[in-house]
A and B are shown apart, each in its own frame.
Chain A
């Protein structure tokens, strides 16, 4: 049964314009779609093709392209296959449409992406901070936020000076390469 459905889905997807479609294997399909067509495609997948489970929404920051890539992973319990719908939106201003009315779990993922990437979803029920409620810096998952620089600025490290090290330093030895230097 699932094979027939797969063929049906392949035909369906190849017919739609502005959709690039790539079947990885019998359970994985990658679809690239323009940002304007994505909600309609998801609606189609959910309503017509039984992809009712939103597994995840992933955001990837392609800073060199000035774009955010959003990946919607939807799963069908019937055909037992997973469609990953990829779309790209400009990094600035970073606003996109929520799919909460199609998939309720989207609320969490969109909220997460909002606080980690600063990407705003219009129509999402809840854009309040969740994890980073006490964080005042920029959205940390953006590639232009340098976590290590932040750490070096705000924290210091334990300065060990055990006896054996003092002895070695007296003999002319001592620390040569600190771990932070090799990274």
Chain B
């Protein structure tokens, strides 16, 4: 220790102080930080500090072949990797004019919904943990793991499936997979009442989360909020329905909304979306066996694939909100520019900074988890 270095600074007495919050803090989702200015325990202003997970994806992708990037993109959002792969593949397919076989499209929808289920289970599990309800987290993570088992079976990887490539998917669905998937859905559906009892209808949680981090629909639109967070303010908007991709226009599902705009509503929307995802998956399981055909359209040799010049902006609905890729090709074997528009980049910075103002310090973590912001996606 170096006592000579410690010098007490004379500050005027004040209730206002600044607090570094994160990156090494259990109330932070991932590796992310805030600097908050407090009066007592009320937040006067907050400032997000990212970059702890910055890897420079957009730069890396400019230096790799089109196909090599499929291994890179899922890493952008760790809890919900599949939409990243699909969105990137969609962008290349649009540029290259590739026709994705119908079967591959259905398989992609299946993965997307599996990923959404897993991400939502993880998200409200995390939220529960910030309010001290660890059992919900334990359950959520354990049930998510069952979905990961199915991912492993389908794609060969638990978390990073690297299963979608431009043109389709990489492997045929294994035998008996759909039956196992179906029984998993039965199980998950039977678990929903348990979750309700434990968490969503738990008065502790309701009292704790109501009116925390509330925003109105106008505010949400103004701040660029998307996804479940926007639906929690009452606006029924979903990229899957309103800007359909893959075969979502052939599927029957609802867009749950909640009026409250607070942490509670956001969790309830996720809870309702679990049910809708299960519903979509059941439709896929029913339809998939009757859709025959290839799972990938022929693509050129990946080592010598010049994607035609042009640009494309593709959007998908990830579990966090609107995810978009802007891809520019100059006709070379590598992308000229890939821009990843992650939903969390809005939620975890501006929205969070705005919502934190006036809330209490202990609620900041709750707000962050309720927005389901994903720091690696902010940092890229």
Contact = CB atoms under 8 A, between A and B. Distances in A.
B138 interface: no
A27 B224 contact: no
Contact of B224 (A54, A116, A148): A54
A84 interface: yes
A108 interface: yes
A130 B48 contact: yes
22 contacts: A27-B243, A28-B313, A56-B326, A58-B326, A58-B341, A60-B328, A60-B336, A60-B337, A73-B313, A77-B235, A80-B242, A104-B222, A105-B350, A116-B58, A130-B51, A130-B349, A131-B379, A131-B380, A132-B51, A132-B54, A140-B56, A147-B60
A55 B337 contact: no
B304 interface: no
Given A82-B313, A131-B51, A53 B221 contact: yes
Interface of B: 48-51, 54, 56, 58-60, 63, 221-224, 226, 235, 237, 242-243, 311, 313, 315, 322, 324, 326, 328, 336-337, 339, 341, 345-346, 349-350, 379-380
A73 B345 CA distance: 15
B326 A107 contact: no
Given A58-B337, A130-B48, A140-B56, A104 B350 contact: yes
A131 B50 contact: yes
Given A130-B51, A132-B51, A147 B349 contact: no
A108 B313 contact: no
Given A60-B336, A131-B51, A133-B49, A104 B223 contact: yes
State the main secondary structure of chain B at its contact with A: mixed
Contacts of B341: 55-56, 58, 73
A-B interface, 5 closest residue pairs, ranked by CB to CB distance from nearest = A105-B224, A131-B51, A56-B341, A58-B339, A58-B326
A52 B223 CA distance: 10
B220 to A, nearest CB: 10
A148 B60 CA distance: 9
A141 interface: yes
Contacts of B224: 53-54, 103-105
Interface in A117-154: 130-134, 140-141, 145, 147-148
